[in-house]
Amino acid sequence: ERIERVVRAALRGLDSGKDAPPLGDDYQVTEVETRGRQVNAVTTLIANKRIAEGAVLEFRPYSKPERRDMAEWLAADAKRSLASWSNDNGRYPLQWHADGEWYSPSGLAKEMRQQASGVTSSVQGTLRWFV
C-alpha cells in the first residue's frame, strides 16, 4: 500500500516535466556494504526448536488487502486459519488443518490467499502465523 503511494508520487514527478532535484554529495553510497547470506527464518526456528512440536499456529492476514480479501473466506471454515508445526519436516513445517498437506509458512499463506481471492502474490509467511 505504501509502495503504491510512493510509486504514484514518483510518476507524478516524472510526468510533470520538471528536472529531478540535485542530490547532495553525501547522498551517494561511496562504499559497497557486503552482507552475508540472509538466514531463512524457518530454518532458524527449526534448528533452535523455538516452536514446540505439534503447536497449533493461527493465520492472521497481515495487510489491509489481505484482510479484505480473506476475512469472509477464513470465517467460513475455522480449519482454514489453523496449522500444526513440526520441527521434523524440513522446509515444510506447517500441516494445514484444512487439507492435511505440508507447507512452508510463506507457501501456505500464498496458497490461502489464492484460494480466498484468486490473487497470487509473494508473501513473508512468518509475519502471518502466530503461536
Question: What residue segments make up the domains of the chain, in order of their start?
Answer: 51-130
Phi–psi pair at 76, nearest 5 degrees: -70, -25
pTM of the predicted protein model: 0.70
Residue 96, pLDDT > 90, answer: yes
Q: What is the DSSP letter of 58?
A: E
Phi–psi pair at 7, nearest 5 degrees: -65, -45
Higher pLDDT, 64 or 34: 64
The residue-averaged pLDDT of 65-91 equals: 94
CA distance 4 to 34: 29
pLDDT of residue 29: 66
Helix (H) or strand (E) holding 56: strand 56-59
Residue 28: pLDDT band by 50, 70, 90 thresholds? low
Q: What is the DSSP letter of 94?
A: E
